[in-house]
Amino acid sequence: MATTRKDGYRPGLVDISAGQVSREIFVNEEIYREELERLFARVWLFVGHESQIPKPGDYFVSGMGEESVILCRDRAGKVHVFLNSCRHRGMKVCRYDEGNTPVFTCPYHGWSYGTDGQLVGVPYFREAYHEKLDRSRWGLVEVPRTYLYKGTVWACWDSAAPPFLEYLGDFVRYLDLTLDGWDGSEGGTEILGGIQKWRIPCNWKFPAENFCGDSYHNISHRSVDLVGIGPSGTGRRDMRERQMARRLQVAFYERGHQTGVYLFPKDQATPPSYQHSPEVSEYFAHCEEERRKKRGEWGRLIGSPGEIFPNTALHPRQPRTIAVWHPRGAHQTEVWRWYVVDSAAPQEVKDFLRDYYIRYSGPGGMTEQDDMENWNYAHAASRGTIARRYPYSYEQGLGFETENYEWQGLRIPGTVMDITDAKSSEHNLRNLYRRWAEFMEAESWGELATWRLARAAE
């Protein structure tokens, strides 16, 4: 496999075989600057959801890496992603969060751009430019690659990157666990109005690794478990259905994506959940049944947190969310969180879930609050001269991965770690940093698209 060819970024910083990762990659500012070039300028990033810009002229200002971008729908209904910076003197063209406009007019010198990015207005074009300015070359900088997938909008600055679906590979089926309706209907989700945005004083990779499947941080959330916010009245989530399932960590070595999943047994009904509200409980029971029918064996699978490399997090089970960890310097992260519900769910279900989501996630969320405390001080306590000398340990479960995992007639794509008995492993976390190191070392996408090499060799 591709990954075994390398020992890590600048050998020693990421040592997967020893299960050790240097603290430098989290706190070193030079490495951070390199990440902006090698990672964020080359990968596919999540920028928003089509339902945020339903009509022509609608726009939503998003971020890619440290940069502001405009996600908008042009007059012909086509979706674009532009760098939010005027070509003339760099002014941030749009300083609003969202809205609708026929043109983006820069407030500095008044260059204006159509919603398709074309430079349509240049004051004094005739008098001062003598019509010599080639307007066709000075439109808004457009992200060369965008892809719409089941409502979500993805973008990539690198024209040499593989197409989005190839970038995902077979992991797309796990992304579906967040984007399809709970009843298995294709892309049957929508987002709730209101994107949460907040800042955390830590490197962006702390939340990234957490959502890759940190199955080990139970102590973090004991307080919310004691208080009880779960939709059946106790704990922080409904857990009963999962007690009969296989608990798996699934990683894609060549791509850097990973997720946790629960695989239900073949012939057992899912126990009731969401018992605080009979209507919600009924809705989910119905969806469970439907999904099993529609999806067959794959319907036995439900997701738990996952991560599309490098910084898009999925939380496929209620609270269903998509999060982006925007880097803001080596020492700060800006989190943006979109909340997802089944578009066909009754209003009462949506309301119930919205209330539950707010209790669980984000800076006001009783669960996530404790995560952020850990990310903050893990980062802070790793910045010192002495602290940096001591790598973190990632050896949990090293060597227990299974290549062709199968249980009760379902073969699971990806490299799997069954943690039903092991309780936890760092399999998925190792996968994140393995891919991270490859990106930091590779000079071109040619080296990164290893699956193409394998195919060519055949």
Partner 1 sequence: MDGNERISRLLLKQEVDEFLYYEADLLDARRYDDWLALLADDVRYWMPMRRNVKVDDLEREFTREGRDISWFDEGKQTLTRRVRQIQTGIHWAEEPVSRISHVISNIRLLEANPSWAEPAEVAVGCRFLVYRNRVETETDILVGKREDLLRRVEGELKITRRRILLDQNVLLSKNLTFFF
Partner 2 sequence: MASTNTTGYRRGLVDLGKGQISREIFVNDEIYQEELERIFARAWLLVGHESQIPNPGDFFVSSMGEESVILCRDRAHKVHVFLNSCRHRGMKVCRYDEGNAAVLTCPYHGWSYSTDGRLVGVPYFREAYHGSLDRSRWGLAEVAQLCLYKGTVWASWDPAAPPFLEYLGDFLPYIDLTLDAWDGSDGGTEILSGIQKWRVPCNWKFPAENFSGDSYHNISHRSVDLAGIGPSGSGRRDMPELLMARKLHIAFPEHGHQTTSYLLPKEVALPPAYQHSSVVSEYFRECEEARRNKRGDWGRMIALVGEVFPNTAFLARQPRTLAAWHPRGAHETEVWRWFLVDRNAPAEVKDFLRQYYIRYSGPGGMTEQDDMENWNYAHAASRGTIARRYPYNYEQGTGTEIENYEWESFRVPGVVCDLTRAKSSEHNLRNLYRRWAEFMEADRWEELTSGRRLGRAEAAE
The verdict on 123 binding partner 1 (CB under 8 A) reads: no
Q: Which is nearer to partner 2, 30 or 458 (CB)?
A: 30
Least distance in angstroms from the C-beta of 164 to partner 2: 18
Comparing C-alpha atoms, which of 391, 393, 379, 388 is closest to residue 329?
Answer: 379
Q: Which of residues 42-101 bind partner 2 (CB under 8 A)?
A: 64-68, 83-93, 95
Q: Which is nearer to partner 1, 112 or 146 (CB)?
A: 112
Least distance in angstroms from the C-beta of 107 to partner 1: 4
Q: Which of residues 107-146 bind partner 2 (CB under 8 A)?
A: 107-110, 123-124, 127-130, 132-133, 138, 141
Q: Which is nearer to partner 2, 124 or 377 (CB)?
A: 124
Side by side, the strands of the sheet bearing 98-100 are 79-83, 67-73, 58-64, 98-100
Question: Of the candidates 11, 107, 278, 446, which one interacts with partner 1 according to CB under 8 A?
Answer: 107
* Amino acid, res. 407: W
Q: Which does 384 bind (CB under 5 to 8 A by kind): partner 1, partner 2, none?
A: none
Q: Which is nearer to partner 1, 95 or 217 (CB)?
A: 95
Counted residue by residue, the chain has a size of: 458
Backbone angles phi, psi at 446, to 5 degrees: -55, -40
Is cis: bond before 310, omega within 30 of 0?
yes
Q: Which is nearer to partner 1, 105 or 277 (CB)?
A: 105
Give the Cα separation of 392 and 107 in Å (integer). 48
Residue 358 host element (H or E): helix 347-360
Q: Which does 96 bind (CB under 5 to 8 A by kind): partner 2, partner 1, none?
A: partner 1
Q: Which does 110 bind (CB under 5 to 8 A by kind): partner 2, partner 1, none?
A: partner 2
The verdict on 160 binding partner 2 (CB under 8 A) reads: no
Cα torsion 47, 52, 57, 61: sign: negative
Q: Which does 133 bind (CB under 5 to 8 A by kind): partner 1, partner 2, none?
A: partner 2
How does 105-134 read in b/e, with b if 16+ C-beta sit within 10 Å?
bbeeeebbbbbbbbbbbbeeeeeeeeeeee
Give the Cα separation of 30 and 8 in Å (integer). 17
Q: Which does 303 bind (CB under 5 to 8 A by kind): partner 1, partner 2, none?
A: none
Comparing C-alpha atoms, which of 32, 33, 27, 29 is closest to residue 202?
Answer: 27
Residues that bind partner 2 (CB under 8 A): 36-37, 40-41, 64-68, 83-93, 95, 105-110, 123-124, 127-130, 132-133, 138, 141, 157
The contact set with partner 1 (CB under 8 A) reads 95-96, 107, 199
